[in-house]
Amino acid sequence: MADMTTPMDRFIEQMGLMTQDEGAPRIAGQIHGYLLVEGEPRTLAQMAAALRISKASASTNARFLEMKGAVRRVSRIGQRGDAWEALEDHCDTMLSEIARRMRGNADALAGIVAEFPESHAGARARAERFTVFYSQMADFVEDWLERLTGKADVPAGQNESKE
């Protein structure tokens, strides 16, 4: 028997699996994939029917995606409920968020590592290497974002400490 799923269906499912691998709900990834494929705003009822999920699950996961900057809520005149659409520049938002988290983690670790006593020099050296890794990852992602967009989408002064 031939496989009845379309490439679009497989894309939606793969988005769900990728999102789940990142620690987020699989349904959130499926909704994001569905909205990317559709290309137009969709209501919670449309999402629920297309993905065979509950409307409550569609609502919870659409709000999660909105909070992450992947989708936005749109309202239409004459419609009681909101609709949702995928943001076209989500990759920029995602990279900015990754860089922000990496930089924040590096800064938090650096502050703690600076307090390690001399009696723990080995632990301090290992922790400093890990801290440098996070800082360099933030630099890398910020540089990548700048190359992709032609502009840095990071707070001023946070992309200047390259050696």
Give the pLDDT confidence of 66-75 residue by residue, as tens digits: 998 899 999 8
Residue 54: closest CA among 15, 25, 23, 77: 25
Confidence of residue 150 (pLDDT cuts 50, 70, 90): confident
Report pLDDT digits (tens) over 74-126: 987 777 788 999 998 788 888 888 999 999 999 999 999 999 999 999 999 99
pLDDT band at 4 (very low <50, low <70, confident <90, very high): low
- Is residue 20 classed exposed, middle or buried when 0-12, 13-18 and 19+ CB atoms within 10 A define those classes? middle
Note the CATH number of domain 7-86.
1.10.10.10
Residue 156 has pLDDT above 70, yes or no: no
- List Cα–Cα distances, 50 to 29, 30, 56, 71, 90, in angstroms: 14, 10, 14, 17, 22
Residue 160, pLDDT > 90, answer no
What is the per-residue pLDDT across 130-145, written as a single tens digit (0 to 9) for each?
A: 999 999 999 999 999 9
Q: Rounded distance, CA 68 to CA 72, Å?
A: 10
Portion of the chain with pLDDT greater than 70, in percent:
90
Domain ranges for the chain: 7-86, 90-149
Whole-model pTM over 0.85: no
Q: pLDDT band for position 163 (50/70/90)? A: very low
Token duo for residue 21:
């691998």
